[in-house]
A and B are shown apart, each in its own frame.
Chain A
Amino acid sequence: MGKLAIACYPGLVGNMSFDFAMKLADAAADKGHQVSIWFSGNATGSVKAHQKHLKDYSTGEKHLQALLAKGVEICTCEACTVARGIQKPEGIEGIQWNAMHWYLAKVHAADRALLIGGE
Protein backbone atom coordinates (compact mmCIF):
# COMPACT_ATOMS: atom_id res chain seq x y z
CA MET A 1 0.00 0.00 0.00
CA GLY A 2 1.10 3.58 -0.57
CA LYS A 3 1.13 7.03 0.96
CA LEU A 4 -1.17 9.78 -0.21
CA ALA A 5 -0.71 13.43 0.77
CA ILE A 6 -3.79 15.56 0.13
CA ALA A 7 -3.83 19.32 0.51
CA CYS A 8 -7.25 20.93 0.69
CA TYR A 9 -7.75 24.67 0.42
CA PRO A 10 -11.47 25.14 -0.34
CA GLY A 11 -13.76 26.04 2.54
CA LEU A 12 -16.06 23.64 4.34
CA VAL A 13 -19.36 25.22 3.41
CA GLY A 14 -19.83 26.69 0.01
CA ASN A 15 -17.46 24.54 -1.99
CA MET A 16 -18.02 20.83 -2.33
CA SER A 17 -14.42 20.27 -3.34
CA PHE A 18 -13.89 19.97 0.43
CA ASP A 19 -16.40 17.12 0.50
CA PHE A 20 -14.58 15.51 -2.42
CA ALA A 21 -11.29 15.63 -0.54
CA MET A 22 -12.86 13.93 2.50
CA LYS A 23 -14.43 11.16 0.44
CA LEU A 24 -11.23 10.57 -1.51
CA ALA A 25 -9.26 10.32 1.72
CA ASP A 26 -11.83 7.92 3.10
CA ALA A 27 -11.67 5.70 0.02
CA ALA A 28 -7.88 5.65 0.11
CA ALA A 29 -7.81 4.79 3.82
CA ASP A 30 -10.32 1.97 3.26
CA LYS A 31 -7.98 0.51 0.64
CA GLY A 32 -5.16 0.45 3.19
CA HIS A 33 -3.22 3.47 2.01
CA GLN A 34 -1.64 5.81 4.52
CA VAL A 35 -3.32 9.18 4.09
CA SER A 36 -2.44 12.64 5.34
CA ILE A 37 -4.57 15.73 4.84
CA TRP A 38 -3.30 19.29 5.05
CA PHE A 39 -5.73 22.17 5.45
CA SER A 40 -4.73 25.63 4.35
CA GLY A 41 -6.65 28.74 3.38
CA ASN A 42 -10.39 28.58 3.87
CA ALA A 43 -10.33 24.84 4.58
CA THR A 44 -8.89 25.64 8.01
CA GLY A 45 -12.31 26.82 9.08
CA SER A 46 -13.39 23.19 9.09
CA VAL A 47 -11.31 22.30 12.14
CA LYS A 48 -13.41 24.24 14.61
CA ALA A 49 -15.27 21.89 16.93
CA HIS A 50 -18.99 21.87 17.73
CA GLN A 51 -20.20 22.33 14.18
CA LYS A 52 -23.94 22.05 13.83
CA HIS A 53 -24.90 19.75 11.01
CA LEU A 54 -27.78 21.28 9.13
CA LYS A 55 -28.97 19.30 6.16
CA ASP A 56 -28.63 22.21 3.80
CA TYR A 57 -24.93 22.48 4.56
CA SER A 58 -21.90 20.26 4.07
CA THR A 59 -20.52 19.06 7.36
CA GLY A 60 -16.91 18.47 8.23
CA GLU A 61 -16.64 17.53 11.88
CA LYS A 62 -18.09 14.04 11.87
CA HIS A 63 -16.25 13.14 8.66
CA LEU A 64 -12.99 14.42 10.07
CA GLN A 65 -13.49 12.44 13.27
CA ALA A 66 -14.23 9.32 11.25
CA LEU A 67 -11.07 9.84 9.20
CA LEU A 68 -9.00 10.33 12.35
CA ALA A 69 -10.44 7.10 13.74
CA LYS A 70 -9.22 5.33 10.58
CA GLY A 71 -5.70 6.58 11.16
CA VAL A 72 -5.73 9.44 8.67
CA GLU A 73 -3.40 12.23 9.78
CA ILE A 74 -4.99 15.65 9.54
CA CYS A 75 -3.19 18.91 10.10
CA THR A 76 -4.33 22.49 9.84
CA CYS A 77 -2.16 25.47 8.97
CA GLU A 78 -1.83 27.29 12.25
CA ALA A 79 -1.38 30.71 10.67
CA CYS A 80 -4.41 30.33 8.38
CA THR A 81 -6.52 29.04 11.25
CA VAL A 82 -5.75 31.70 13.84
CA ALA A 83 -6.11 34.38 11.16
CA ARG A 84 -9.71 33.19 10.93
CA GLY A 85 -10.22 33.61 14.67
CA ILE A 86 -10.01 29.95 15.65
CA GLN A 87 -7.71 29.11 18.53
CA LYS A 88 -6.24 25.70 19.34
CA PRO A 89 -8.52 24.90 22.31
CA GLU A 90 -11.48 25.34 19.94
CA GLY A 91 -10.21 22.81 17.44
CA ILE A 92 -11.45 19.29 16.80
CA GLU A 93 -9.51 16.90 19.01
CA GLY A 94 -6.89 14.90 17.18
CA ILE A 95 -6.25 17.39 14.43
CA GLN A 96 -2.68 18.66 14.43
CA TRP A 97 -1.68 22.29 14.06
CA ASN A 98 1.55 23.12 12.28
CA ALA A 99 3.22 25.31 9.68
CA MET A 100 3.31 24.83 5.93
CA HIS A 101 6.42 22.71 6.04
CA TRP A 102 4.27 19.95 7.56
CA TYR A 103 2.66 19.40 4.19
CA LEU A 104 5.97 19.48 2.35
CA ALA A 105 7.26 16.85 4.78
CA LYS A 106 4.28 14.63 4.00
CA VAL A 107 4.82 15.19 0.28
CA HIS A 108 8.43 14.12 0.73
CA ALA A 109 7.29 10.75 2.03
CA ALA A 110 4.28 10.36 -0.25
CA ASP A 111 3.88 8.18 -3.28
CA ARG A 112 1.13 10.45 -4.56
CA ALA A 113 0.26 14.06 -3.77
CA LEU A 114 -2.90 15.92 -4.71
CA LEU A 115 -3.35 19.60 -4.00
CA ILE A 116 -6.92 20.85 -4.28
CA GLY A 117 -6.64 24.60 -4.67
CA GLY A 118 -9.05 27.13 -3.30
CA GLU A 119 -11.53 29.54 -4.76
Chain B
Amino acid sequence: MKLGVFVSDFNLTVDTLDRLTAEKLGIILVQNGVYHATTKVNGKASSLLDKTQNLYVLSDDVQIRGLKAEDVDKRVKVVNYSDIVDLMFNDYDKTAWL
Protein backbone atom coordinates (compact mmCIF):
# COMPACT_ATOMS: atom_id res chain seq x y z
CA MET B 1 0.00 0.00 0.00
CA LYS B 2 1.00 3.60 -0.47
CA LEU B 3 0.40 5.14 2.89
CA GLY B 4 0.57 8.81 3.80
CA VAL B 5 0.87 9.30 7.54
CA PHE B 6 0.08 12.62 9.16
CA VAL B 7 2.21 13.14 12.26
CA SER B 8 0.74 15.83 14.48
CA ASP B 9 2.80 15.48 17.66
CA PHE B 10 6.46 15.94 18.47
CA ASN B 11 6.58 13.49 21.35
CA LEU B 12 4.82 10.50 19.86
CA THR B 13 3.08 8.42 22.48
CA VAL B 14 2.43 5.58 20.05
CA ASP B 15 4.99 3.38 18.31
CA THR B 16 2.72 2.71 15.37
CA LEU B 17 5.00 4.38 12.86
CA ASP B 18 7.83 2.05 13.84
CA ARG B 19 5.68 -0.97 13.04
CA LEU B 20 3.94 0.03 9.83
CA THR B 21 5.33 -1.10 6.51
CA ALA B 22 4.27 0.18 3.13
CA GLU B 23 5.36 -0.10 -0.46
CA LYS B 24 5.57 3.68 -0.28
CA LEU B 25 5.47 5.50 3.04
CA GLY B 26 5.03 9.24 3.21
CA ILE B 27 5.22 11.26 6.43
CA ILE B 28 3.39 14.57 6.44
CA LEU B 29 4.32 16.71 9.42
CA VAL B 30 1.58 18.98 10.67
CA GLN B 31 0.64 20.74 13.92
CA ASN B 32 3.31 20.03 16.56
CA GLY B 33 4.70 17.34 14.28
CA VAL B 34 6.58 20.07 12.38
CA TYR B 35 9.16 20.10 15.15
CA HIS B 36 10.46 16.79 13.80
CA ALA B 37 11.59 18.76 10.76
CA THR B 38 12.87 21.86 12.52
CA THR B 39 14.19 20.93 15.93
CA LYS B 40 17.06 18.83 17.13
CA VAL B 41 17.15 17.27 20.56
CA ASN B 42 20.58 17.40 22.15
CA GLY B 43 21.96 18.15 18.74
CA LYS B 44 20.35 15.17 17.07
CA ALA B 45 17.71 15.33 14.37
CA SER B 46 14.51 13.38 14.84
CA SER B 47 14.83 9.69 14.05
CA LEU B 48 11.48 9.96 12.30
CA LEU B 49 13.31 11.62 9.40
CA ASP B 50 15.18 8.37 8.77
CA LYS B 51 12.03 6.34 8.21
CA THR B 52 11.38 7.36 4.63
CA GLN B 53 12.60 9.63 1.88
CA ASN B 54 9.10 10.97 1.40
CA LEU B 55 8.93 13.69 4.03
CA TYR B 56 6.74 16.76 3.96
CA VAL B 57 6.03 19.61 6.37
CA LEU B 58 3.10 22.00 6.29
CA SER B 59 4.32 25.56 5.77
CA ASP B 60 1.46 27.17 7.72
CA ASP B 61 2.27 25.13 10.80
CA VAL B 62 5.99 25.95 10.52
CA GLN B 63 5.33 29.68 10.19
CA ILE B 64 2.75 29.91 12.95
CA ARG B 65 5.42 28.62 15.32
CA GLY B 66 7.81 31.41 14.39
CA LEU B 67 9.96 29.09 12.34
CA LYS B 68 11.09 29.58 8.79
CA ALA B 69 11.69 27.40 5.76
CA GLU B 70 15.43 27.70 6.45
CA ASP B 71 14.87 25.92 9.76
CA VAL B 72 13.46 22.87 8.00
CA ASP B 73 15.74 19.86 7.57
CA LYS B 74 16.86 19.60 3.96
CA ARG B 75 15.34 16.14 3.65
CA VAL B 76 11.86 17.53 4.20
CA LYS B 77 9.80 19.21 1.51
CA VAL B 78 7.78 22.24 2.57
CA VAL B 79 4.21 22.01 1.30
CA ASN B 80 0.94 23.90 1.60
CA TYR B 81 -2.61 22.64 2.02
CA SER B 82 -3.15 22.42 -1.71
CA ASP B 83 -0.02 20.28 -2.05
CA ILE B 84 -1.28 18.02 0.71
CA VAL B 85 -4.52 17.47 -1.15
CA ASP B 86 -2.52 16.49 -4.22
CA LEU B 87 -0.38 14.12 -2.17
CA MET B 88 -3.50 12.45 -0.80
CA PHE B 89 -5.07 11.94 -4.20
CA ASN B 90 -2.05 11.34 -6.40
CA ASP B 91 0.73 9.83 -4.30
CA TYR B 92 -0.92 7.84 -1.52
CA ASP B 93 -3.98 5.63 -1.67
CA LYS B 94 -4.47 5.51 2.08
CA THR B 95 -3.90 8.12 4.74
CA ALA B 96 -3.62 7.88 8.50
CA TRP B 97 -3.49 10.48 11.25
CA LEU B 98 -1.27 9.86 14.27
A residues neighboring B (CB under 8 Å): 2, 4, 16-17, 20, 23-24, 26-28, 30-31, 33, 111-117
Contact = CB atoms under 8 A, between A and B. Distances in A.
A116 B97 contact: yes
B30 A20 contact: yes
Interface in B65-98: 80-82, 84-86, 88-89, 93-95, 97
B97 A24 contact: no
A112 B89 contact: yes
Contact of A24 (B8, B84, B93, B94): B84
Nearest to A114: B95
Contacts of A117: 97
A49 to B, nearest CB: 26
Contacts of B6: 114, 116
Contact of B85 (A17, A31, A113, A115): A31
A33 B31 contact: no
Contacts of B94: 112
Nearest to A29: B85
Contact of B81 (A4, A17, A24, A112): A24
B26 to A, nearest CB: 13
Given A4-B89, A17-B8, A33-B89, 4 more contacts: A4-B85, A31-B85, A31-B86, A113-B95
